[in-house]
């Protein structure tokens, strides 16, 4: 009997937390904006590293990487504007872009780490 009542209390608390926090589209909107801004910061650092490298070497590969990162910068800027002015109707509509932004952040941080090690900057 005691276990059933404690289970019921924990179940009720979990439902309240889920309904107010995790089910709210605002938390996903905030997370998408923060992740997109973090991506923009990573991209700014990467573009700075490759711009210095391009001014020294004038390589077509470096130029194409710069253009690719500039396109990612535009994409993240548009994502930020989109989530600033549009509140998703539910969490299911925000999970896809948030997952994409999270994966992009992981790749950009790995790329930034490799670029810094390659150039000898920390």
Q: What ranges do the domains of the chain cover?
A: 24-119
% of the chain surpassing 70 pLDDT? 77
pTM surpassing 0.85? no
Does residue 94 carry a pLDDT above 80?
no
Asked whether the beta carbons of 96 and 45 are under 8 A apart, the reply is no
% of the chain surpassing 90 pLDDT? 47
DSSP-assigned letters across all residues of 1-58: -HHHHHHHHHHHHHHHHIIIIIT-HHHHHHHHHHHHHHHHHHHHHHHHHHHHHHHHH-
Spatial neighbors of 8 by CB under 8 A, at least 6 apart, are: none
Does residue 112 carry a pLDDT above 80?
yes
Query: What is the token pair recorded at 80?
Result: 């930020």
The CA-atom distances, in angstroms, between 33 and each of 36, 37, 53 are 5, 6, 30
Q: How far apart are CA 97 and CA 88, in angstroms?
A: 11
The band of 23, judged by pLDDT with boundaries at 50, 70 and 90, is low
The mean predicted confidence, pLDDT, of the chain is 83
Q: pLDDT (tens digit, 9 = 90+) per residue, 30-85?
A: 888 999 999 999 999 999 999 999 999 889 999 999 999 999 999 999 989 988 88
Does residue 21 carry a pLDDT above 60?
no
């Amino acid at each position: 009997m005691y276990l059933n009542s404690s289970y019921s209390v924990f179940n009720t608390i979990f439902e309240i937390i889920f309904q107010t926090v995790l089910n709210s589209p605002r938390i996903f909107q905030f997370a998408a904006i923060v992740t997109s801004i973090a991506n923009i910061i990573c991209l700014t650092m990467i573009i700075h590293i490759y711009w210095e490298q391009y001014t020294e070497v004038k390589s077509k590969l470096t130029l194409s990487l710069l253009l690719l990162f500039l396109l990612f910068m535009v994409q993240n800027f548009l994502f930020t504007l989109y989530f600033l002015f549009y509140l998703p109707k539910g969490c299911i509509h925000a999970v896809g872009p948030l997952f994409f932004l999270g994966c992009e952040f992981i790749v950009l941080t790995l790329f930034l780490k490799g670029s810094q090690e390659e150039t000898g900057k920390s």
